[in-house]
Amino acid sequence: MSTVSGATPLTQISPGRKRKDRIMRGSLMAGTGIALVPLILVIYYLIYKGVSSWSASGFFTTDPTGSFFGNPGGIRSAIFGTLEIVALASLISIPIGIAVALYLTEYGKDGRFANLVRYFVDVMTGVPSVVFGLFIYITLVISHAGGAGFAGWKGSLALSLLMLPIVIRSAEVVLLLVPSSLREAALALGAPRWRIVWRVVLPTARSGLVTGSLLAVARGMGETAPLLFTVSLATAFTGNINGLMNSLPLQIYTDITNPRDVIVARAWGAALTLVALVLILNVTARLISRRSSMT
């Protein structure tokens, strides 16, 4: 059956094949380079243009003055406005999002209604953020619901509509990763379902849920369009969420077209700030997920 003397020697790779390997590698690396170049340019440009503003006095501690001449002011109210609006949006979208995800994984599973919900969530992720803003505008802003026309909380609502499908999607993925053997073990002990969710599923999925939520928050922070139609722009530092508020995206939006150079520079600084905030959130999410992996 087999030859006694010496098996066929392992042949060398043919030169033709070597060439093909090299061409393939080269083109893939070129593609990667092309993709990376604009990314690097954006970051570089941001830093280059924005860092000078950061060092300007009062950049983080004063509000924009809104005046056409004179001291332009800093972006304090914008930062706090963004934080307030996004915080409220998170408060709304994260618990509801996780609840919906729990329904989908624990109760609905593969049922018809659950699949319908999933379909709608998928559709929502594709909706342009402008539409959410317009929706809230038409339903709440025009009617001056709650007293004022434009208001911070309406902006939060629009943002939460945007964040909700993201939270649901990522939470569902994480919850599905919880091994069914754990649910089985808890069931077999005689635990009622809600306790299983509360004491086994959620704690096991905790880090993944936090990561997903942080990413949704990071996304919400940077959205301009929803805020445009719901919060509009104010320059004052305010805690009243039922009124006009400032926010970083809108501040950038108005500043960047300003003829004054120093205000344009402020816009870059604000953009850099926004990117920095998002970066901090992303890094935190990464660190949390790395700390507690679910093996």
Partner 1 sequence: MIPPETTSKEPKEMSAAEEQSQEREAAPDLSAMGERRQGHGVKVRGLHAYYGSVHAVKGVDIDFPANEVTAIIGPSGCGKSTMVRCINRMHEEIPGARSEGHVTLDELDVYGAGVDVTAVRRMIGMVFQKPNPFPTMSIFDNVAAGLRLTGTKSDNLRERVHRALRAVGLWGEVKNRLNSPGIGLSGGQQQRLCIARAVAVEPEVILMDEPASALDPIATLKVEELIDELKNRYTIVIVTHNMQQAARVAKSTVFMLDGELVEHAETTKLFTNPSDERTERYVTGKFG
Which residues here bind partner 1, judged by CB under 8 A?
109-110, 179, 181-182, 184-192, 195-196, 199-200, 203-204, 206, 294
CB nearer partner 1, residue 78 or residue 175: 175
CB of 292 to partner 1, least distance (A): 8
Residue 177: CB minimum distance to partner 1, A? 12
Q: Taking the complex as a whole, how short is the minimal distance between the CB of residue 102 and partner 1, in angstroms?
A: 17
Choice between 23 and 185, CB closer to partner 1: 185
Which residue number, 128 or 203, has a Cβ lying nearer to partner 1? Answer: 203
CB of 212 to partner 1, least distance (A): 17
Least distance in angstroms from the C-beta of 294 to partner 1: 7
Residue 19 vs 193, nearer CB to partner 1: 193
Q: Between residues 114 and 278, which has the closer beta carbon with respect to partner 1?
A: 114
In sequence order, what DSSP letters do the residues of the chain get, joined into one string? ---SS-PPPPPPPPHHHHHHHHHHHHHHHHHHHHHHHHHHHHHHHHHHHHHHHHTSTTTTTS-----SSS----SHHHHHHHHHHHHHHHHHHHHHHHHHHHIIIIIITT-HHHHHHHHHHHHHHHS-HHHHHHHHIIIIITTTTTS-SS-HHHHHHHHHHHHHHHHHHHHHHHHHHS-HHHHHHHHHTT--HHHHIIIIIHHHHHHHHHHHHHHHHHHHHT--HHHHHHT----S----TTS----HHHHHHHHTT-S-HHHHHHHHHHHHHHHHHHHHHHHHHHHHHHHS---
